[in-house]
Amino acid sequence: MNVVIVGGGSSGWMTASMLARLVGKQHQITLIESDDVATVGVGEATIPPIAYFNKVLGINEADFIKKTQGSFKLGIEFDGWKQAGHVYMHAFGRIGKDMGMAGFHHTWLRGKAAGIDSDLWDYSLNYQAAKNNKFGFLPTIPNTKLPGLVHAYHFDAGLYANYLRELSEEMGVVRIEGFISSVNTAPVSGFIESVSLQSGDVIEGDFFIDCSGFRALLIEGALKTGYEDWRHWLPCDSAVAMPCERVDPIIPYTKSIAHKAGWQWRIPLQHRTGNGLVFASEFMTDEEAIEYLKTNVDGKPLGEPRLIKFKTGRRTKQWHKNCVAIGLSSGFLEPLESTSLHLVQSAIVRLVKMFPHKQMNEVQVDEYNRQSKIEFERIRDFIILHYKVNGRDEPFWQRMKDMPIPDSLALKIRLFEQTGTIFREQDELFTEAGWQQVFIGQGIEPSCYHTLADSLSEGQLEELLQNLSTIMQGTAARLPEHSDILAQMTK
């Protein structure tokens, strides 16, 4: 087939490179992008599965860190979400040691009930390393069977796209620069046949991938697929982004700092810190947001603030006729848990698993759409949770506390509050440890714990908690400094 990718932002080049690697021998891949239409230019914090994506592409980690001005990421710190001044972290990786089928938090809760005063994060290696600016490649904790550090990356989105472009072109992807002025569909089937460029060239294709960003040129502009608007649950609809000079040390985690009508990100890179303010325009004006961001960065600004408007939600069908939408054209969830690039990654994997023949198969298209919907909804619920269980008192936050939430999330909250149980539903992105940390970090503690946590005597319980805490803290202390690792990898 002639596969045509429209758009050369992160999603376009991620798609092009992976398709070239996996199905490039069977299909011709062309990518069209316009130098006159800027990419969104943000999207710099990721979650751990991206390491796997890069590995499949054969990317060398040190080369990648060097060329994208990247840093390592061990989690996200949430500052002021429970209340002003309170801080907790969603650290990647596991916490403590599970008690058979019961998560470690049950053991920790029993310890609390028995008067052992400790913090859940005393048992998270990722947290201990992050807060001490440490990093290392440690699949397991030495001399134990306990899992080691789990990492993702921060990187410069523009440099990542360039990196993948180079790789894609080496693998045979043809890049065409040009502004698409129209999308041409077949009169009866409505399938896309070609796109016309302003230059007069017409690019024909059998299968089209819409990576045109919020414009959604093909999936919406031509195919009118429709959009499910989730702003009643996630009312932040604006962001202002402005990088500043880097601050030392380069911390190995993202910061998410709540403010009166949303939150602010800080993403540490080698050459700068990425900053942005996400806000609800109903509660904060653009001018106020710009002013707030300018006075809340911790280095000298590098460039002017840039305003971005968005509508949280998802494309009703992410695959329609002979077009699949990947990236911002497929929907958008605010970047609170750094999930957008992951959604790009998983859409690509899903597409490769269900790669079509020239004749589209409706059953396959429906299955693709069913899986995409579930994935978006689960991530949506996790993001809403942060807002719903906030402890702040400004009007925006009061509204979030009082709002009705999806039934799927309401059930998860009730189940955790009453029993401490969390189920990671099949293929769900966020782990039980992720949900636990947001629940407990924002003040929701279960009213009881699992019976398996009672299988230890009080003495054994105390010893276990003490040992685990010593192991995590000792292991973190022995790790190298994050900045030393970066210096070694980039010299």
Ligand X SMILES: Cc1cc2nc3c(=O)[nH]c(=O)nc-3n(C[C@H](O)[C@H](O)[C@H](O)COP(=O)(O)OP(=O)(O)OC[C@H]3O[C@@H](n4cnc5c(N)ncnc54)[C@H](O)[C@@H]3O)c2cc1C
- Which residues are known catalytic residues? 73
Element (H, E) at 72: strand 71-73
- CA–CA separation, 276 and 110 (whole Å): 40
Out of 18, 20, 39, 297, the residue judged to bind ligand X by CB under 6 A = 39
Out of 24, 252, 276, 446, the residue judged to bind ligand X by CB under 6 A = 276
| Residue placing its CB nearer to ligand X in the complex, 335 or 420 | 335
Token output for 168: 């894609």
- How crowded is the C-beta side of 139, counted as CA atoms within 13 Å? 0
18 Cβ contact partners less than 8 Å away, ≥ 6 residues apart: 53, 56, 57, 348, 349, 352
Provide, rounded to whole angstroms, the least separation between the CB of residue 350 and ligand X: 16
| Residue placing its CB nearer to ligand X in the complex, 10 or 128 | 10
Give the residue from 276, 212, 308 showing the smallest Cα distance to 12: 212
Q: Which residue has the tokens 């490179």?
A: 17
Q: Binding of ligand X at residue 473 (CB under 6 A)?
A: no
| Residue placing its CB nearer to ligand X in the complex, 108 or 263 | 263
Strand partners, 332: 313
- How crowded is the C-beta side of 153, counted as CA atoms within 13 Å? 25
Stretch that binds ligand X, among 34-42, 388-396, 460-468, 471-479 (CB under 6 A): 34-42
- CA–CA separation, 416 and 436 (whole Å): 9
Out of 76, 89, 150, 157, the residue judged to bind ligand X by CB under 6 A = 157
Provide, rounded to whole angstroms, the least separation between the CB of residue 1 and ligand X: 21
Q: Binding of ligand X at residue 42 (CB under 6 A)?
A: yes
- CA–CA separation, 210 and 116 (whole Å): 54
| Residue 144: other Cβ atoms inside 10 A | 13
- CA–CA separation, 306 and 290 (whole Å): 9
Provide, rounded to whole angstroms, the least separation between the CB of residue 79 and ligand X: 16
Looking only at residues 187 through 226 of this chain, which bind ligand X when binding is defined by CB under 6 A? Answer: 211-213, 215, 217
Q: Binding of ligand X at residue 269 (CB under 6 A)?
A: no
- CA–CA separation, 221 and 215 (whole Å): 8
| Residue placing its CB nearer to ligand X in the complex, 242 or 422 | 242
| Residue placing its CB nearer to ligand X in the complex, 40 or 138 | 40
| Residue placing its CB nearer to ligand X in the complex, 96 or 243 | 243
Provide, rounded to whole angstroms, the least separation between the CB of residue 288 and ligand X: 17
Site mask for ligand X (CB under 6 A), range 317-356, x = bound: ----------xx------x--x-xx--x------------
| Residue 253: other Cβ atoms inside 10 A | 29
Is 250 in contact with 71 (CB distance < 8 Å)?
A: yes
Q: Binding of ligand X at residue 10 (CB under 6 A)?
A: yes
Provide, rounded to whole angstroms, the least separation between the CB of residue 189 and ligand X: 23
Provide, rounded to whole angstroms, the least separation between the CB of residue 431 and ligand X: 18
Stretch that binds ligand X, among 35-43, 71-79, 353-361, 444-452 (CB under 6 A): 35-43
Q: Residue count at the site for ligand X (CB under 6 A)?
A: 36
Is 276 in contact with 239 (CB distance < 8 Å)?
A: yes
Q: Binding of ligand X at residue 43 (CB under 6 A)?
A: yes
| Residue 50: other Cβ atoms inside 10 A | 21
| Residue placing its CB nearer to ligand X in the complex, 128 or 168 | 168
Q: Binding of ligand X at residue 34 (CB under 6 A)?
A: yes
Out of 3, 5, 20, 46, the residue judged to bind ligand X by CB under 6 A = 46
Provide, rounded to whole angstroms, the least separation between the CB of residue 38 and ligand X: 7
Q: Binding of ligand X at residue 372 (CB under 6 A)?
A: no
Angle between helices 340-353 and 362-388 (to 10 degrees): 160
Q: Binding of ligand X at residue 257 (CB under 6 A)?
A: no
Q: Binding of ligand X at residue 235 (CB under 6 A)?
A: no
Stretch that binds ligand X, among 32-40, 132-140, 280-288, 452-460 (CB under 6 A): 32-40
Token output for 355: 């790669």
182 Cβ contact partners less than 8 Å away, ≥ 6 residues apart: 195, 196
Token output for 81: 């979400």
- CA–CA separation, 150 and 312 (whole Å): 29
Q: Binding of ligand X at residue 262 (CB under 6 A)?
A: no
Token output for 292: 């707030």
Q: Is 341 helix (H, G, I), strand (E, B) or coil?
A: helix
- How crowded is the C-beta side of 38, counted as CA atoms within 13 Å? 7
Residues that bind ligand X (CB under 6 A): 7-12, 32-34, 37, 39-40, 42-46, 157, 179-180, 211-213, 215, 217, 239, 276, 308, 310, 327-328, 335, 338, 340-341, 344
